[in-house]
Amino acid sequence: MEKRFYSSESVTEGHPDKIADQVSDAILDAMLAKDPNSRVAVETFVFTGIVQVAGQVTTRAYIPIPDIVRGTIDGIGYQNAKHGFDFETCGVQISIDPQSPDIAMGVDEDSNHEQGAGDQGMMYGYASNETKELMPMPIALAHKLVLRLADVRKKGTLKYLRPDGKSQVTVEYDNGKPVRVDAVALAAQHDESVVDPKTDLMKDSAREELKRLVIEHAIPKHLLDRDTRFHINTTGKFMRGGPWADTGLTGRKIIVDTYGGIGRHGGGCFSGKDPSKVDRSGAYAARWVAKNIVASGAADKCEIQIAYAIGVARPVSIDVNTFGTGKVDDMAIIEAVRNLFDLRPKAIISNLKLKRPIYQKTAVGGHFGRSDKEFTWEYTDKAAALRKELGL
């Protein structure tokens, strides 16, 4: 039996990088709501008292970007100027130009009604049957922790919590199967009410509350044992957070957004990009394909790479790796994928319904492994056809 330990992290909606992702996707959603054909590539930078939005946009929609920025920050929970960053007093700077006409030439439909890829690059998709979401367990649990942390903050269950926070989960695997959680790290921003004035550290009672109401609620009991290690606010306290403590930038949490470091990544971020950019739509399609392969029973785990050239509709390459878990040869799976999945950008956008304003929700808690109806790339609607195609 081979024993291994894998760790993955996630961050809360109030983390500076995730603020930036949410702002970028909120702007994208607002444009798509009024003009589904909007071409958007927007990045956001946040720091103490400042939000800067920059990028390239071509759209028929008018949207009040400063209002969207402030509304997003308000919804996250930054509402008090004394905390170093809030929606009312932060400055909002905007620098947006039209999309490059040279890029547009490659993405606009040609005489054969083909839409080219918005850029070159390779996109990866991954799935594993180790969780019901068909995701790697470490990232699935890390996301559950930060979503639970936000839930107890917003409901007022733990009134001392503030928006910033992080989680990290280490899972022990035996012979490729997850068997237990070995370690949990949780960093939760808080106010002064849970700081012991004698030690200037977070009170042990607050740590115990976080363990009981967040960790033990989010992680199934059978995965925790007496040897599981818990690291809660290990610096002693975490009062100064968000953009007051660190800068935030769109696209800086690409591993959090995908598979937690299990499986490869092509390097392109998702947030702030409309679906003509294959960084986003191609990666969503790759997850759709990989998940259907695993759901079909063709493999226990699967990684797929899809590569594009700018202005060219059809992928320049498709590769599937089932890591020796496939019930049939990987080449047979690739052929089935080519037969059953149309991976041209226009077809992906149509089949997955990607021109809708659905993206702000993706910017927190991961883009994959979600049950929300908007996440069409999580559907296993091709699993039966794959089984038939592969003779399973």
pLDDT above 70 coverage of the chain, percent: 96
Report yes or no: 296 and 390 within 8 Å, Cβ to Cβ. yes
Q: Which amino acid does the sequence have at 128?
A: S
pLDDT above 90 coverage of the chain, percent: 90
289: left (phi > 0), else alpha (psi -120 to 50), else beta?
Answer: alpha
301: left (phi > 0), else alpha (psi -120 to 50), else beta?
Answer: beta
Overall average pLDDT of the 129-145 stretch: 97
Phi, psi at 276, each rounded to 5°: -70, -20
pLDDT category, 111, cuts 50, 70, 90? very low
Instruction: Look over the chain and give the mean of its residue pLDDT values, rounded to a whole number.
Output: 94
Give me the domains of the chain, ranges plus CATH numbers.
Answer: 3-11+136-242 (3.30.300.10), 16-99 (3.30.300.10), 121-129+251-390 (3.30.300.10)
* Distant-in-sequence, close-in-space partners of 312: CB < 8 Å, separation ≥ 6: 106, 116, 117
Nearest to 46 by CA among 256, 246, 187, 251: 246
Q: What is the pLDDT of residues 42-65, one digit of tens each?
A: 999 999 999 999 999 999 989 999
Report yes or no: 40 and 274 within 8 Å, Cβ to Cβ. yes
pLDDT of residue 110 exceeding 80, the answer is: no
Higher-confidence residue: 104 or 167?
167
Rg (CA), the chain: 22
pLDDT of res. 2: 85
Report yes or no: 137 and 131 within 8 Å, Cβ to Cβ. yes
Q: What is the pLDDT of residues 215-228, one digit of tens each?
A: 999 999 999 999 99
pLDDT category, 83, cuts 50, 70, 90? confident
pLDDT of residue 389 exceeding 80, the answer is: yes
pLDDT of residue 205 exceeding 50, the answer is: yes
Q: Distance (Å, rounded) from C-alpha 159 to C-alpha 156?
A: 5
Beta bridge partners of 44: 53
b/e sequence 2-36, b meaning 16+ C-beta within 10 Å: eeeebbbbbbbbbbbbbbbbbbbbbbbbbbbeebb
Higher-confidence residue: 12 or 61?
12
Q: Distance (Å, rounded) from C-alpha 217 to C-alpha 215?
A: 5
pLDDT of res. 104: 57
Q: Distance (Å, rounded) from C-alpha 213 to C-alpha 203?
A: 16
Report yes or no: 301 and 389 within 8 Å, Cβ to Cβ. no
* β-strand pairing of 39-47 with 248-249: antiparallel
- Beta strand segments in 175-209, E: 177-190, 195-196, 201-202
pLDDT of residue 100 exceeding 70, the answer is: no
Q: Which amino acid does the sequence have at 323?
A: F
Overall average pLDDT of the 120-125 stretch: 94
Q: What is the pLDDT of residues 351-363, one digit of tens each?
A: 999 999 999 999 9
pLDDT of res. 119: 79
Q: What is the pLDDT of residues 162-195, one digit of tens each?
A: 999 999 999 999 999 999 999 999 999 999 999 9
pLDDT of residue 279 exceeding 50, the answer is: yes
- Complete edge-to-edge strand list for the sheet that includes strand 301-308: 121-128, 301-308, 317-321
CA angle in degrees (0–180, nearest 5) for 67-243-214: 100
Helices first, then strands: H and E counts in the chain: 11, 13
pLDDT of res. 330: 97
pLDDT of residue 109 exceeding 70, the answer is: no
pLDDT category, 115, cuts 50, 70, 90? confident
* Distant-in-sequence, close-in-space partners of 344: CB < 8 Å, separation ≥ 6: 114, 115, 313, 314
Overall average pLDDT of the 132-151 stretch: 98
pLDDT of residue 105 exceeding 60, the answer is: no
pLDDT of residue 284 exceeding 90, the answer is: yes
Place of tokens 């992906």: 348
Q: What DSSP element (H or E) covers 51?
A: strand 50-58
Residues in the chain: 392
From the centroid of its chain, how far is CA 17? Answer: 12
- Give the other-Cβ count within 10 Å of 305's Cβ: 17
Place of tokens 């083909």: 114
pLDDT of residue 102 exceeding 70, the answer is: no
Q: Distance (Å, rounded) from C-alpha 325 to C-alpha 290?
A: 13
pLDDT category, 28, cuts 50, 70, 90? very high
